[in-house]
Homo-oligomer: A and B are copies of this chain.
Amino acid sequence: MKIGKQTLKLENTPKLLETSSSVGPKEADGPLGNYFDIKVNDIFFGEKTFEKAETKFLTTAINNLLQKVSLQNDKIDYIFSGDLLNQCIASAYSVRDLEIPFFGLYGACSTYVEGMILASILVNSGMGEKIIYSASSHFCSSERQFRMPLEHGNQRPPSAQYTVTGAGCGLITTSKIEKKAPFITYVTPGKIVDLGINDMANMGAAMAPAAVMTILTHLEDTGRKPEYYDAIITGDLGNEGSEILIDLCKKNGVDISKVHTDCGKEIFDTINDRDVNSGGSGCGCIASVFSGYFYQKMKEQKINKVLLVATGALMSPISINQGESIPSIAHAVAIENEVN
28 sampled A-B residue pairs with Cβ under 8 A:
A2-B128, A48-B322, A51-B319, A78-B189, A82-B106, A85-B316, A86-B87, A86-B318, A87-B108, A87-B319, A89-B315, A89-B318, A92-B192, A92-B327, A96-B327, A99-B191, A99-B192, A101-B189, A102-B189, A102-B192, A103-B114, A103-B118, A104-B108, A104-B114, A104-B312, A104-B329, A121-B125, A125-B125
A312 to B92, CA, bound (A): 11
Q: Are B316 and A101 in contact (CB under 8 A)?
A: no
Shortest CB–CB separation between residue A13 and chain B, in angstroms?
15
- A329 CB to closest chain B CB (Å) equals 6
| Distance from A76 Cβ to chain B, minimum over Cβ atoms (Å) | 11
Select A107's contact among B103, B118, B191, beta carbons within 8 Å.
B103
Check B127 against A77 for contact (C-beta < 8 Å): no
A48 to B322 CA separation, bound complex (whole angstroms): 9
The answer to whether B6 and A319 touch across the interface, beta carbons within 8 angstroms, is no
Chain A residues 123 to 138 lying within 8 A of chain B, measured CB to CB, are: 124-128
Interface size class of A (residues with CB under 8 A): 35 or more
Which residue of the partner chain B has the closest CB to A126?
Answer: B1
The answer to whether A259 has its CB under 8 Å from any CB of chain B is: no
How would residues 180 to 193 of chain A score, 1 for a CB under 8 Å from any chain B CB and 0 otherwise? 00000000011110
New A-B contacts (19) at CB < 8 Å, excluding given A84-B87, A92-B327, A103-B107: A2-B77, A2-B127, A51-B319, A51-B322, A82-B106, A86-B318, A87-B316, A89-B318, A93-B327, A96-B192, A96-B194, A96-B327, A99-B191, A102-B190, A104-B108, A104-B312, A118-B118, A121-B121, A124-B125
Does A100 reach chain B (CB closer than 8 Å)? yes
- The smallest C-beta distance from A96 to any residue of chain B, in angstroms, reads 5
Q: Which of B92, B103, B191, B315 contacts A102 (CB 8 A)?
A: B191
Q: Quick check: is A314 within 8 A (CB to CB) of the other chain?
A: yes
Contact call A52/B322, Cβ cutoff below 8 A: yes
Tell yes or no: A303 within 8 A of B by CB.
Answer: no
Contact A324 B93 (CB under 8 A): yes
- In whole angstroms, what is the CA distance A319 to B54 when docked? 12
Bits for A44-61, please: 1 = Cβ < 8 Å to B, else 0: 000011011000000000
Most chain B beta-carbon contacts within 10 A, residue among A6, A104, A318, A327: A104
Does B106 lie within 8 Å of A315, measured CB to CB? no
Identify the 9 closest CB pairs spanning chains A and B, nearest first: A125-B125, A92-B314, A87-B316, A106-B106, A101-B189, A86-B86, A104-B106, A88-B106, A96-B327
Q: Does A95 sit at the interface, judged by CB under 8 A?
A: yes
Asked if A322 and B121 make an inter-chain contact with CB atoms under 8 angstroms apart, the answer reads no
Say yes or no for A122: interface residue by CB 8 A criterion.
yes
A105 and B102 form a contact (CB under 8 A): no
Is A8 in contact with chain B by the CB < 8 A criterion?
A: yes
